[in-house]
Amino acid sequence: MEAKARLPLVFVAGALLGAGGAFAVFTLRTPEVVARESATDAPPRDVRRVEDGLVAPGPSAPTERATDTDRVAVDARATAPTAPQVGAAAANGELLLELLERGRREGWFADAQFAELLFWQLVSRGLLEDAWNVARTYAPSSQHLFLNLASTAHQRHEFALRDAALQHALSLGWVDPSFLAQIDPELGLARYAEMLAVAAPDERSAVELGYAQFLYGLGRNDEALAIARSRLASHPNDEQALDLLCALDLEAGEAHLRRLIDARDPQNDWTRKLIALLNQNGRTAEAAQRLADLAASGKPVYAGDWGEIADAALASQDSVGAVDAWLRALELESGDPDAWTNPLLVQAPDKLLAALEARVATGEHDEFWGALGDVRWKLGLHTAGVDAWQQAATLDPTDMEWSAKLAAAAAGTNPLGD
């Protein structure tokens, strides 16, 4: 199968590199958002104090950023005896710029690193013009700064600055059209047109698929559907195109999946995708039957598969279907069964107890014995619960959970802390 993408859909594009319109198209990929939407939406992860007042946030998602080692070096230089006092600079963009220029002149910090710290400081204070000046002067090749600035300026309706920052970012190389669309849909469409114009024949349909997903995001569904169908006609196993088809025409997407299953599905990938599609669209009983048929055929089925069925059944208020799915998940579980025992204890405690008793009767590891002890205790079977925890402790004496529960029971306190 080709590169996978699950609904909900994401915009996908080829790559367009080089300044001044020199473009090169690469294979279809899921784009990375290279810029935070705003300083408010994504606060910096790391905050350091330089001297006695300048708080400089470190970028949380840019493609280029100072390392922790670099920041320590910057801090060391900024707090050297020759560095100026900068406490008052934190609230004043002009003083920040003056500090930057003096530091550059006196050589006590690395320009690009410290410029980026100042950039985020200025953006967080809404001093976007100053942030623009810092980026242009000291980090002119850091595209991610200009993309962030364009996005933030757009949100604050500072359109002249937005356009200037975006133009500079575009001059530095390719920008994902789906990011451009967040600022200007027409600009995103224009960039896709440029990509399509230079795409090699064997790559054109992949670029068109990214365009179709973009159109879908804009609500231009008929155009998107036509491209998805065209892509699947030539590349029937393209899962991104299939996801788009399912989003736009569920019946057609399901029919395409069934044809793929009938043609060849050695790893059951398409069968699992059909089960997920049915499950996501409220046809949980059909999905469960498909999964049961898969298991009956001897093909591998996992506890998590039944967990997804149970979640969908519970969401549709089918508690009987959910219990059946959780019990099947418990039967297939080889690790810690808590994900299945916890909901079963609420919905069907007697069935859970019987299932665990049957499971440990054939020999099981400590987690199942421990789970049995928990269930017995919660159902008021305290002596039997202690016996199960004792067996768990015997199987794994290094697991302190069992010894702690045994000690609590011996002391007359609730081992489960309820």
**Can you say whether residue 18 is alpha, beta or left, with left for phi > 0 and alpha for psi between -120 and 50 degrees?**
left
pLDDT of residue 288: 93
Strand partners, 57: 47
* 46-175 fold: 1.25.40
- Alpha carbon 270 to chain centroid, angstroms: 23
d(CA 137, CA 155): 24
pLDDT of residue 205: 81
d(CA 372, CA 166): 61
pLDDT of residue 109: 55
Is the pTM higher than 0.75? The answer reads no
Domain spans of the chain, in order of start:
46-175
Q: Mean pLDDT per 10-residue run, the chain (418 residues)?
A: 32 28 27 32 30 30 36 35 37 64 67 79 89 89 93 92 90 80 80 83 84 87 94 92 95 94 86 91 92 87 91 91 95 93 95 95 90 96 96 94 95 88
The DSSP string of 334-363 is -S-THHHHHHHHHH-HHHHHHHHHHHHHT-
347 in Cβ contact with 323 (< 8 Å): yes
